[in-house]
Amino acid sequence: MPFKSLRDFIDHLEQSGDLVRISEPVSTHLEMTEIQTRVIAEGGPAILFEHVRNPDGSRAEMPVLVNLYGTVARVAGAIGRTPDQLREVGETLAFLRQPEPPKGIRQAWDLLPLARQVLAMRPKSVKQAPCQEIILTGDQIDLGRLPIQGCWPGEPAPLITWPLIVTKGPSDKAEDNFNLGIYRMQRLDQRRTLMRWLKHRGGAQQYDRWARDKRAPLPAAAVIGADPGTTLAAVTPVPDTLSEYQFAGLLRGKPVELVDCKTIPLKVPAHAEIILEGHVSLDEHGDEGPYGDHTGYYNSVEPFPVFTISAITMRRNPIYLSTYTGRPPDEPACSAKP
């Protein structure tokens, strides 16, 4: 069965002994990274820090989940498969990216079930959603409520490391469908971050097209703690003709449920933990970094656009999903391998 939410996956991992709860106090600043680097190197379990401390020593409002995709087996299990079944997913993806014309009527007939399956995985819209049980707007917006991780010494600010960024381009063309990508976000203040998307990424390309056509800030949503199928679809090289939401349905074997955002014209996963709604500025940029990267070194400082939050919505008692980026083995590398 597909995991409807992150919580369903957490329950599954706990029942199988692949998740550990830590009740001792752990700080978001450096301590989480130190623990993660040891656990991931040993192929250890996912970790739920239940007693999280902010850098000032105060207790955070919510627990933090880390190392969720720290092994190939957990990545495969997140989409209901075993590691040896991942090749089948790859073959399907390869066909979708570069389909070959069928050789004869029989082969065309054999491909019909896949075509029907892809069409059947269009997302389903709902009017009410768990991700909007709590809605914060105006002066209630405060990123300080989130236990954002400080990963490495000397970094300029805490970093949102597992945000699933939802955007939509300015046209009805296939390349302007809903795009999902993972782009890190440096916290600037209570309601602003930087959006670090590299130029070749789908979100940045839609941003450029939007700037040319609309000349207004680009609506965007940062989803923290989506169901595992949707998260993994966001890090998969899906063809431009297919929305990641649709591919997520294919991975899950069931369409993704989406809900309209409260302040922007986008749809987000209904069963996610936390949603940051807002706009990416076309003319306001800030220096991002230096931050620890896959190379084992710190990135150079580069300018990226500012994301300003118009609403924070979340589930009751939300769970904050986090990770760190560093020299492999790290979680991004472990999730990229399969």
Q: Kindly list the catalytic residues.
A: 293
Distance (Å, whole) CA 170 – CA 276: 21
C-beta of residue 320 within 8 angstroms of C-beta of residue 64: yes
In degrees and rounded to multiples of 5, residue 336 shows phi and psi of -75, -35
167 forms bridges with which residues in the sheet?
179
Identify which of 194, 163, 183, 149 has the alpha carbon closest to the alpha carbon of residue 37.
149
C-beta of residue 159 within 8 angstroms of C-beta of residue 149: yes
Distance (Å, whole) CA 158 – CA 141: 17
Identify which of 169, 245, 243, 244 has the alpha carbon closest to the alpha carbon of residue 206.
169
Sequence-distant (≥ 6) Cβ neighbours of residue 179 within 8 angstroms: 166, 167, 168, 169, 202, 203, 206, 243, 244
Question: Which contiguous run of DSSP H or E holds residue 73?
Answer: helix 72-78
Distance (Å, whole) CA 239 – CA 93: 8
Identify which of 289, 291, 286 has the alpha carbon closest to the alpha carbon of residue 305.
286
C-beta of residue 301 within 8 angstroms of C-beta of residue 290: yes
Helix (H, G, I), strand (E, B) or coil at 51: coil
Distance (Å, whole) CA 208 – CA 276: 21
Question: Which contiguous run of DSSP H or E holds residue 219?
Answer: strand 218-224
